[in-house]
């Protein structure tokens, strides 16, 4: 099969809670696609979290502890999600085993819109070790690292790329 053979299929008109923009998005084989927060068509900021494994059927996960938009969302592993930045004043980890969001503190460099985050994994077993958050702080060039084993923040220094808006981060 070539890319020219592929076609889009219509699955429905809207998400269960309506259209949204500036949401955090994450995807994995364990979670499917997850969308958190955002802004609806009336300009209202959202804290709802949706999950779909097929693009047609959606489930609501527990709401974020605060409304969020223009933030990053990433999958840590088969039971945990990480949300930071944007309108979020704090950083949160969702644990599916408890069906709850935990507050893990504020970003050390300060929150900003459109930052990106990604997970650093152990090269031997694929276990999640750290979450890297880039684009934080008032100059948007800060990197904060959350150590998942010690549950502590560390300074990741600065980087030279300025505008990460609408980007994603892939850590190998």
Residue 61 has pLDDT above 50, yes or no: yes
Q: Tens of pLDDT along 147-161?
A: 999 999 998 887 765
Quick one: what percent of the chain has pLDDT higher than 70? Answer: 82
- pTM of the predicted model, to two decimals? 0.84
Q: List, in order of start, the domains of the chain with CATH numbers.
A: 18-158 (2.120.10.80)
Listing DSSP states for 66-115 in one string gives S-B-S-EEEE-SSSEEEEESTT-SS-EEEETTTTEEEE----TT---TT-
Residue 137 has pLDDT above 70, yes or no: no
Query: Mean pLDDT over residues 101-124, rounded?
Result: 88
């Amino acid at each position: 099969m070539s890319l020219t053979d592929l076609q889009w299929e219509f699955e429905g008109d809207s998400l269960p809670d309506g259209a949204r923009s500036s949401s955090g998005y994450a995807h994995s084989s364990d979670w499917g696609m997850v969308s958190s927060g955002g802004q609806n068509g009336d300009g209202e900021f959202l804290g709802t979290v949706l999950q779909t494994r097929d693009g047609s059927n959606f489930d609501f996960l527990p709401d974020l502890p605060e409304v969020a938009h223009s933030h990053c969302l990433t999958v840590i592993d088969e039971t945990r999600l990480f949300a930071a930045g944007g309108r979020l004043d704090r950083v949160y980890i969702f644990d599916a085993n408890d069906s709850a969001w935990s507050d893990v503190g504020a970003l050390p460099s300060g929150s900003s819109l459109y930052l990106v985050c990604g997970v650093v994994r152990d090269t031997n077993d694929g276990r999640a070790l750290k979450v890297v958050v880039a684009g934080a702080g008032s100059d948007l060039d800060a990197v904060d690292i959350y150590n998942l084993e010690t549950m502590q923040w560390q300074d990741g220094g600065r980087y030279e790329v300025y505008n990460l808006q609408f980007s994603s981060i892939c850590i190998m």
